[in-house]
Structure 1
Amino acid sequence: MPDETVARTSRTRSWWGWGWVDSHPDDAECMALGALVPGTLARPLPLPEVAGLRIGSPAVDAPRSLAHLVTYDPEARAAHARGKAYRDVTRALRGRPGRIPDLVACPARDQDVADLLEWAGEQQVAVIPYGGGSSVVGGVEYRGGEHRAVMSLDLTAMNQVLEIDTDSRAARIQAGVLGPDLEGQLRPHGLTLRHFPQSFEFSTLGGWLATRAGGHYATVRTHIDDFAQSLRVVTPAGTSASWRLPASGAGPSPDRLFLGSEGSLGVITEAWMRLQERPRHKASASVSFAEFRTALGAVRALAQSDLAPANCRLLDPGEAALSGAAEDGSAVLVLGFESSTGPVEGRLDQALELARAHGGRTGAGATGPGAPADEAVGAWRSAFLRMPYLRDGLARMGAVTETFETATTWDRLPALIDAVRTEVGAAAFKATGHPAIVNCRLTHVYPDGAAPYFTVIAAGRPGDEVAVWDDLKAVAGDVLHRHRATVTHHHAVGRDHRPHYDLQRPELFARVLRAAKEVLDPGGVLNPGVLVDSRKAPGDMCC
Structure 2
Amino acid sequence: MPRRKFWGWGNEGDGPNEEQARGIARTLAERFAVAVELAPEPRLEDVALPAPRVAPPPALADRCTSDPHARASHTYGKSYRDIVRGARGDFAPAPDFVAEPRDESDIAALLDWCGERGVAAIPYGGGSSVVGGVEARVGPGYAGAVSIDLGRLARVLEIDRTSRAARIEAGIYGPALEDALRPHGLTLRHFPQSFEFSTLGGWIATRSGGHYATLYTHIDDFVESLRAVTPLGVMESRRLPGSGAGPSPDRLLLGSEGTLGIITEAWMRLQDRPRFRAAASVRFAGEDGFARGAAAVRALAQSGLAPTNCRLLDAGEARTAGAGDGAAAVLVLGFESADHALDAWIARAAELCRDAGGLVPEDAVRTRTDEAASREGAAGAWRNAFLNAPYLRDALVRAAFVSETFETAIPWDAFETFHAAVTDAARDAMKRVCGAGTVTCRFTHVYPDGPAPYYTVMAPGRRGSELEQWAEIKSAASEALLRHGGTITHHHAVGRDHRPWYDRQRPEPFAAALRAAKAALDPAGILNPGVLIDPNGRR
Question: Partner of 2:509 in structure 1?
Answer: 508
Question: Partner of 1:106 in structure 2?
Answer: 100
Deviation at 1:20, TM superposition (A): 2.7
Deviation at 1:19, TM superposition (A): 1.3
* Unaligned runs of at least 5 residues, structure 2: none
Question: Partner of 1:19 in structure 2?
Answer: 10
Alpha carbons 2:275, 2:369 under 8 Å: kept: no
Question: Partner of 1:380 in structure 2?
Answer: 382
User: Which residue identity lines up with residue 99 of structure 1 in the other structure?
Assistant: P
Distance verdict in 2 for CA 1:328–1:511, change over 3 Å: closer
Q: Does 1:171 align with 2:173?
A: no
Deviation at 1:277, TM superposition (A): 0.6
Question: Partner of 2:455 in structure 1?
Answer: 454
Cα distance between partner residues in 2 of 1:230 and 1:89: 35
Alpha carbons 1:39, 1:459 under 8 Å: kept: no
Instruction: Work out the percentage of aligned pairs sharing the same amino acid.
Output: 56
Distance verdict in 2 for CA 1:159–1:470, change over 3 Å: same
User: Which residue identity lines up with residue 397 of structure 1 in the other structure?
Assistant: A
Question: Partner of 1:6 in structure 2?
Answer: none
Cα distance between partner residues in 2 of 1:32 and 1:431: 26
Residue in structure 1 matching 2:325, options 324, 327, 333: 327
Question: Partner of 2:424 in structure 1?
Answer: 422
Residue in structure 1 matching 2:148, options 134, 153, 169: 153
Alpha carbons 2:279, 2:333 under 8 Å: kept: yes
Cα distance between partner residues in 1 of 2:348 and 2:163: 32
Q: Does 1:466 align with 2:467?
A: yes
Question: Partner of 1:488 in structure 2?
Answer: 489
Residue in structure 2 matching 1:413, options 412, 415, 437: 415
User: Which residue identity lines up with residue 89 of structure 1 in the other structure?
Assistant: I
Q: Does 1:35 align with 2:26?
A: yes
Deviation at 1:39, TM superposition (A): 6.5
Task: Please state whether the residue corresponding to 2:536 is helix, strand or coil.
Answer: coil
Question: Partner of 1:227 in structure 2?
Answer: 222
User: Which residue identity lines up with residue 9 of structure 2 in the other structure?
Assistant: W
Deviation at 1:532, TM superposition (A): 0.5
Compute the TM-score of the two structures, normalised by the length of structure 2.
Answer: 0.96
Which piece of structure 1 moves more, 412-421 or 442-451? 412-421
Deviation digits for residues 254-288 of structure 1 (CA, Å, limit 9, x no counterpart): 11001000000100000000111111111111000
* Unaligned runs of at least 5 residues, structure 1: 1-8, 539-543
Question: Partner of 1:3 in structure 2?
Answer: none
**1:106-505 equivalences in 2 (<5 Å):** 106-145=100-139, 146-290=141-285, 291-363=289-361, 364-368=364-368, 374-433=376-435, 435-505=436-506
Deviation at 1:428, TM superposition (A): 0.8
Q: How many residues align?
A: 528
Question: Partner of 1:5 in structure 2?
Answer: none
Cα distance between partner residues in 2 of 1:224 and 1:69: 30
Task: Please state whether the residue corresponding to 1:222 is helix, strand or coil.
Answer: coil
Cα distance between partner residues in 1 of 2:260 and 2:215: 28
User: Which residue identity lines up with residue 176 of structure 1 in the other structure?
Assistant: G
Deviation at 1:390, TM superposition (A): 1.2
User: Which residue identity lines up with residue 26 of structure 1 in the other structure?
Assistant: N
Compute the TM-score of the two structures, normalised by the length of structure 1.
Answer: 0.95
Task: Please state whether the residue corresponding to 2:259 is helix, strand or coil.
Answer: coil
User: Which residue identity lines up with residue 403 of structure 2 in the other structure?
Assistant: T
Cα distance between partner residues in 2 of 1:41 and 1:140: 35
Cα distance between partner residues in 2 of 1:346 and 1:15: 49
Task: Please state whether the residue corresponding to 1:137 is helix, strand or coil.
Answer: coil
Residue in structure 2 matching 1:85, options 69, 79, 87: 79
User: Which residue identity lines up with residue 361 of structure 1 in the other structure?
Assistant: L
Question: Partner of 2:525 in structure 1?
Answer: 524
User: Which residue identity lines up with residue 316 of structure 1 in the other structure?
Assistant: D
Alpha carbons 2:230, 2:260 under 8 Å: kept: yes
Which piece of structure 1 moves more, 229-238 or 382-391? 382-391
Q: Which aligned runs of 4 or more in structure 1 are off by greater than 4 angstroms?
A: 369-374
Deviation digits for residues 67-108 of structure 1 (CA, Å, limit 9, x no counterpart): 111001011000000101111111111122340000000011
Deviation at 1:16, TM superposition (A): 0.8
Alpha carbons 2:343, 2:367 under 8 Å: kept: no
Which piece of structure 1 moves more, 369-378 or 512-521? 369-378
Alpha carbons 2:49, 2:94 under 8 Å: kept: yes
Deviation digits for residues 366-410 of structure 1 (CA, Å, limit 9, x no counterpart): 142599874211211111111111121111100001212000100
Alpha carbons 1:40, 1:399 under 8 Å: kept: no
Task: Please state whether the residue corresponding to 2:252 is helix, strand or coil.
Answer: helix
CA RMSD of aligned residues (A): 1.4
Which piece of structure 1 moves more, 33-42 or 186-195? 33-42
Task: Please state whether the residue corresponding to 1:467 is helix, strand or coil.
Answer: helix
Task: Please state whether the residue corresponding to 1:527 is helix, strand or coil.
Answer: coil
Distance verdict in 2 for CA 1:380–1:54, change over 3 Å: same
Alpha carbons 1:88, 1:97 under 8 Å: kept: no
Distance verdict in 2 for CA 1:328–1:455, change over 3 Å: closer
Cα distance between partner residues in 1 of 2:383 and 2:528: 35
Alpha carbons 1:515, 1:535 under 8 Å: kept: no
Task: Please state whether the residue corresponding to 2:537 is helix, strand or coil.
Answer: coil
Deviation at 1:43, TM superposition (A): 2.5
Task: Please state whether the residue corresponding to 1:429 is helix, strand or coil.
Answer: helix
Alpha carbons 2:49, 2:92 under 8 Å: kept: no
Alpha carbons 1:219, 1:312 under 8 Å: kept: yes
Deviation at 1:41, TM superposition (A): 5.4
Task: Please state whether the residue corresponding to 1:35 is helix, strand or coil.
Answer: helix
